[in-house]
Amino acid sequence: MTTVKVLQGILKGGKSQTENGFEYYEFLGVPYAKPPIGKLRFKSPQPPESWLNERDVTKTNSNNVACQVDVLSGGTVTVGSEDCLYLNVYTPQLPTPESAPLPVIVYIHGGGFIIGNGTMKSENGPDYLIEQNTVVVTINYRLSVLGFLSLDIPEAAGNMGLKDQVKALQWVRDNIGQFGGDKNNVTIMGLSAGSVSVEYLILSPTAKGLFHKAILNSGSTLNHWAINFQLLDLTRELVKILDYKGPLEDKKAMHEFLVTIPASNLTLAAFQAAAKYSPKRLFFGYVPTVEKDYENNDAFLTTPPYKLLKEGNFSRVPTIRGFVNREGALTGIMKPEAKKYISETSDFIDYYPYDIESNKKDQYNSKFTSAYLKDTKSNDTIEDFIGDLDFKSGVWIAARFSSMNVPVYLYEFEHAGKINHFKKMFGLTLEPGALHGDDFTYHFKKEAFEAIDETDVLIRQRLVTMFSNFAKSGVPVPSSSDLEPVNWPPFTAASTMYLGIGKDLQLKTDYEPKKMAIFEELYAKSFGNVWKLRYLQNIRST
């Protein structure tokens, strides 16, 4: 046992070690904000309360993950709690007069903004990064309707889950020195919705100065599932499910009603409301949005992400951005009807989630057909389109925009290893390549995945070394070595160089230029206007 004094009181932590015998300190379930319960539901996070005696943080508490649907139940039960604003701190050394502060990596979990957690060590083990002498912090934040309800009123402005992340970073700034970390060298990192969160933090002025580098794995604010401009429509469906009897135009009445509903019932109803939309596409319902500015210094995001990225109006920090080569395979598993529909109709624009002028639809369908189907309607090429739309195009375009202002290192993970995260989760043996999220267990430890071979070990060492080098210096490969026999230059709009990470490391250039050009043209048309989500129209006629 060991103790650390933070601003709120004394924490009693424990010690652990990696499978290689590397010892480190751990502090599990540390509160970084006041529990967002009762009158604080749907409000911005408040500063954490202090305590008098030593607080035991040697064990994780599964009840303190964010309230969410248990996907294994088919969406019929929930796990977790509203009382979820906790984080873990892992450090290889506590400060001494002789020690220099260590770089800090703050990890933000994924899960479509509706599931996931950052405090269960069995799911987010820090072992590999901690061995590189970095301080690792993993966090929870509010999810689904509890984290992202927006009624366009001050009482429920939206983006509470992202504001939780800002509050966690403020806690890190104020306290991480007590754990041996350097508050002036913080890297934020995330997978999927966690990667989207990282980009939102880059875009939000409320997070400026709280971090100094960023690593984004398979996610961008430009991905259609990562933002919802019409949350009021979804909420009207939600309150119907909950048997609300008041007027659907009275936002304050709906707010007063939703505050009274138990968190579990509210979360289940939000899952059911989202399920009524978009049968062919990824859609998670309650996700980030653009807020109204009530001039109370509380807004997280008041300008669309596309505009901020294009205009260079964001925190200018070095970034690593990446995707996997088979991003569309996961969507194909979750939404098999999408591949079938496109294969049968060649109607790509019907799958595209934003409104396009009717006289332009045939034009874009022709472009997509030429780029993807060519002479065959194979599942592989349709999977490529879905992966490009759902993930890669957003990552690529965001990289192009941001590279005009900051160093960007872009990668494509393509290794089909024994510990690939989603392949194992779904019991798949798909070859070749990697599915969305498969790179997760190459930088974080997940206890259920034990089988590993020499190639997996080598790739894990490479990925962890590159990420930790970046956290330390802002450069993932300072110089070529036996472990990393490549010079990885920054990506630019002119050179478009990126790194392929498979059994070998290979520099590539200009990922699918014909395909990305179509998406860049579509994004400029869609995101430059109203961002009218076509699939949200479905619910109005039912």
Catalytic residue among 123, 237, 327, 484: 327
Retrieve residue 332's tokens.
Answer: 């194909």
H or E stretch covering 508: strand 505-509
Catalytic residue among 224, 255, 421, 436: 436
Give the side-chain half-sphere CA count within 13 A for 437.
19
First to last CA, the chain: 59
Q: Phi and psi dihedrals of 319, rounded to 5?
A: -135, 150
Catalytic residue among 16, 44, 192, 526: 192
Q: What is the DSSP string of 337-380?
A: HHHHHHHHH--HHHHS-B---GGGHHHHHHHHIIIIITT---HH
d(CA 182, CA 93): 12
8-state DSSP, 242 = T
User: CB of 379 within 8 A of CB of 343?
Assistant: yes
d(CA 126, CA 440): 12
d(CA 524, CA 531): 10
Query: Which residue bears the tokens 């109203």?
Result: 530
Task: Say what angle helices 160-175 and 193-203 make with each other, to 10 degrees.
Answer: 70
Q: Which residues contact 60 (CB under 8 A, 6 or more apart)?
A: 28, 29, 88, 119, 120, 121
Q: Is 421 one of the catalytic residues?
A: no
Q: Phi and psi dihedrals of 25, rounded to 5?
A: -95, 145
d(CA 175, CA 349): 49
User: CB of 217 within 8 A of CB of 190?
Assistant: yes
User: CB of 219 within 8 A of CB of 226?
Assistant: yes
Check residue 89 and give left, alpha or beta (phi > 0: left; psi -120 to 50: alpha).
Answer: beta
Q: Is 255 one of the catalytic residues?
A: no
Q: Is the peptide bond before 35 cis (omega within 30 degrees of 0)?
A: no
8-state DSSP, 205 = G
d(CA 238, CA 249): 14
Classify 181 as helix, strand or coil.
Answer: strand
Q: Is 327 one of the catalytic residues?
A: yes
d(CA 107, CA 116): 12
Annotated active-site positions, please? 192, 327, 436
